[in-house]
Amino acid sequence: MDNFLADIIALELAPPPVNIRIEFLPKNSTSMFQPLDQGIIQNFKAQYRKFWLQFSITCYNTDKDPVKEVTLENALRWTLQAWNFKVLPATIQNCWKKSTITMDDTIVVSPKVEDLTPLFQQAAQASSVEDVRDYEDFINPEGENTEVEEDNNVNLQEIVDHHTGNAGLDNVLEEDDEPAPVPTVHEALAALHVVQRYQEHQEGIKREDITSLQRLERELDLRAFNSQKQSTLEGWLKRQ
């Protein structure tokens, strides 16, 4: 095991059987062999930060503060898009080979991480902020990958509470803003029709893309029909 503090505390809370011996790896050695540390995380983070920069530029151009406008929903969408569409299977395979976990004689080339410098400069210019943070500090914030040092003041009860679901019961934070209302099925259909009209007038549009939109339209139409049918039935029952 590595020397991560949580692992050490876990062993103290639940020691292994006597026939199992725990050996700790040298400090920082896991980062040399973990596939995630060979470029997967770096590639993912770059794509996620790209979405954040694009969002920030849009906000600045409409006189809005991106820090105040961003939501948890935005973060989740960016996370899914970055992982599902930007971190390629080939990148993951190469990182496993580079970690030497898999035996392969193929020469492995480190995954190329997209350079976000132009987008970063565009966001900095749009923000009109004089004291703009350094690009390297934006990509790799100080302390983000710092090894966790052992703390003698660790509260074991807090760790136990965290894993038993009792953490934070005395300090429940209230949300300042109400979440945006969920669009109705009719609003979703109206938005989809706009997308369809746009796509239908684009050159080089693929047939499967149009088919996917039509399939989604049919699904929403069915939901709208079932919703109307349910409302009619409930109204009839109330009149009886």
**Spatial separation of the C-alpha atoms in residues 155 and 131, rounded to whole Å:** 39
In a domain, 158, yes or no: no
% of the chain exceeding 90 in pLDDT = 27
pTM: predicted TM-score of the whole model, two decimal places: 0.58
In a shared domain, residues 229 and 140: no
In a shared domain, residues 226 and 135: no
Which tokens is 153 given? Answer: 């003041």
Domain total in the chain: 2
Encode pLDDT of 146-182 as tens digits. Answer: 444 444 455 555 655 665 656 555 555 455 567 778 8
In a domain, 7, yes or no: no
In a shared domain, residues 66 and 133: yes
* Alpha helical stretches, state H, the chain: 5-13, 30-33, 40-61, 66-69, 72-81, 89-98, 117-127, 135-139, 156-164, 185-200, 207-239
In a shared domain, residues 72 and 121: yes
- Domain of 211, in residue numbers: 185-239
In a domain, 19, yes or no: no
- Percent helix, strand, coil in the chain (nearest 5)? 60, 0, 40
Please report the pLDDT score of residue 218 as a whole number. 93
**Spatial separation of the C-alpha atoms in residues 82 and 53, rounded to whole Å:** 13
Encode pLDDT of 17-71 as tens digits. Answer: 999 998 887 776 666 666 666 667 788 888 999 999 999 999 999 999 999 999 9
In a shared domain, residues 35 and 99: yes
In this structure, of 54-68, 93-107, 128-142, 161-175, the range with the lowest mean pLDDT score is 161-175
